[in-house]
Amino acid sequence: MSKRPGRKAATRIVALLLAVTTSIALAGCRGGSGRDSNVVKIGLIAAFNGPLAYFGTAFGKGTAMYADEIQEAGGIFEGKTLEVISCDSERRADKEVTCVEKLVNKDKVVAIIADNSEGIRSPRATKTINDNKIPVMLPTQVLPEAEMTGDKSPYLFGETTRRDYASTLIDFMKNQQGHTKFALLHATDFYGDEGMKETTEAFKSAGIQPTAVETYAVGDQDMTIQAGKLRDSGAEAVIVWGLGSDAARAVESMKRIGYRPQIAGPPGLYINTYRQVLQADSNDTIMSAPHAKGDLPVNLQEVAWIFRFYLKYGFNFFTINGKSAPDWPIVEMNAYKAIRYIGQAIDKVQSTDGEMIRNILESGQRFESLGNQVRWTQQSHLSKTQPESETWVARFIDGHVLFDWDPRAPKAFEWCRRDVEEAMTQQRLDETGRKATPVIQLLLGEIKLCFSRYEADFRARLGNERFEELRKLVDAIAADPGRAAEIAQGAGRSDPLGRSTASPAPGGLQQQP
């Protein structure tokens, strides 16, 4: 017999359903825009133009949001505020190098956030970074593990790169879908090349000889030649290892010649341009992605961050096959986390000295990460995250990202989330005037419909006792909308420096390209 969950656990589950949408109703005023003259400059190197310009926009919003929160909180130490100074790399290694030199030598930044590492890890840029002792955060990137140590890359910090994305995809397509003929199409940048190495190893481990391996350059618009070779090889499933719109152009080229294999790829496909370009043709693309361990995981701090992001920037929505789906700001969240680590480090050492910041980052101390904690050591400048996650299989369907094809997934929960997201369209939210009570009533009505629609699946997954407990809790909140508002308000509290952040809650979706 399974252990009966406490009321606190049940509340967290309902809170996830409530908080995502309730939060967007709680619009309010932000603080003033005046700046203290005592400013700490943080550099941002990202692609604001070119085929991957989405990254610049996303990183710009995430880092600016943190800088504003620091200002509203009264500064880091001695009232110091943050100023983010951007440099457009166009995702080109040579421009990343010149950006490093400009930000360090001219703008006098004390740290850098970057959306790509190829140019930054070049000898010329590395010398500038090391000589001037400038810590650099490299979120959501594939980085060479052997080089990311305190000795070899003393001022570069990144995230531990998962090496089971390809194996998870191949295992699912082979054992769950029954595919036997696989091919690979990958970009020729560092991300694609590392994906090629990982996929090659995964093919070998699975006893598979790929029917074809093809490449494309970042920014390529027409991949008809590669598509023809993949089709002629007889591949039933093609792993496309690339980012956003580039990967979408590859799928468009296959469609153009009447070739429709099962498409699969890494978290880089999550970037919204993939779904924007392909629209309904993105449906049933398979993607591997990190997902929290456990049944019905909830990360209220990430939900609360999405709430704050909406207040500042709003949401974009996909409309595919006449259905609405929110474009969740996951890349923006990762950029926010990266600059937040720098902010926490500066606050811990009460100094902007680069060597002191580096030392505290690699000391093994834990840094708050929106419901999780991360730490680096001198032996590894790739962060370790607690609680740990595991890799699941997700799919796109009408703009939504669902994990319902993964055997471990709570399917009823995934379907309910999809239904609620579709119901909470921008038009319906606008009709509520973004007022808490009408939005809560709209949301609770949709959740209750979900409970009825998928009751058998919920009971099978949760057990009768737990399901009834959840349903009674929803009914109780529906009878007292003020209580729902209180839940959302409580989830929205946050300290940008992590000084008073609660211990890690169960983690949520952690998208990483």
Sorted by sequence, the CB contacts under 8 Å of residue 502 that are 6+ apart come out as none
**What pairing do the DSSP bridges indicate for beta strands 367-368 and 373-375?**
antiparallel
What local confidence, expressed as pLDDT, does residue 24 receive? 37
Structure tokens at 313: 């920037």
What local confidence, expressed as pLDDT, does residue 251 receive? 97
Where helices occur in 292-404 by DSSP H, the ranges are 300-313, 330-349, 354-361
pTM over 0.75: yes
3-state secondary structure of 5: coil
Q: How far apart are CA 372 and CA 388, in angstroms?
A: 9
What local confidence, expressed as pLDDT, does residue 461 receive? 87
What local confidence, expressed as pLDDT, does residue 297 receive? 56
What local confidence, expressed as pLDDT, does residue 22 receive? 43
3-state secondary structure of 87: strand
What local confidence, expressed as pLDDT, does residue 36 receive? 40
3-state secondary structure of 78: coil
Element (H, E) at 13: helix 7-22
Structure tokens at 440: 């809560």
Distance (Å) of CA 120 to CA 58, 100, 114, 130, 452: 20, 7, 9, 11, 53
What local confidence, expressed as pLDDT, does residue 482 receive? 66
Alpha-carbon torsion (268, 270, 272, 275), positive or negative: positive
Q: Mean pLDDT of successive 10-residue segments in the chain (513 residues)?
A: 46 47 38 56 95 91 95 89 96 95 97 93 96 95 87 93 91 97 96 94 97 95 97 98 94 97 95 93 95 68 78 85 91 95 95 96 93 92 87 96 92 91 85 71 86 92 90 82 58 60 35 40
Q: How far apart are CA 101 and CA 469, in angstroms?
A: 59
Q: How far apart are CA 483 and CA 289, in angstroms?
A: 34
3-state secondary structure of 363: strand
Q: Could you tell me how many residues make up the chain? A: 513
Which residue type occupies 405? W
What local confidence, expressed as pLDDT, does residue 291 receive? 86
What local confidence, expressed as pLDDT, does residue 225 receive? 97
Element (H, E) at 292: strand 286-292
Q: How far apart are CA 441 and CA 444, in angstroms?
A: 5
HSE on the CB side for 251, CA within 13 Å?
Answer: 33
Residue that is written with structure tokens 């060479």 in the block = 144
What local confidence, expressed as pLDDT, does residue 499 receive? 66
What local confidence, expressed as pLDDT, does residue 163 receive? 86
Where helices occur in 157-269 by DSSP H, the ranges are 165-171, 190-205, 224-232, 244-256
Q: Return the bridge partners of 156, or none.
A: 136
Residue that is written with structure tokens 């595991």 in the block = 390
What local confidence, expressed as pLDDT, does residue 512 receive? 39
What local confidence, expressed as pLDDT, does residue 151 receive? 95
| Nearest of 14, 3, 109 to residue 473 by alpha carbon | 14
Domains of the chain with CATH codes: 7-27+404-491 (no CATH), 39-161+331-389 (3.40.50.2300)
DSSP state of 175: I
Alpha-carbon torsion (199, 204, 207, 209), positive or negative: positive
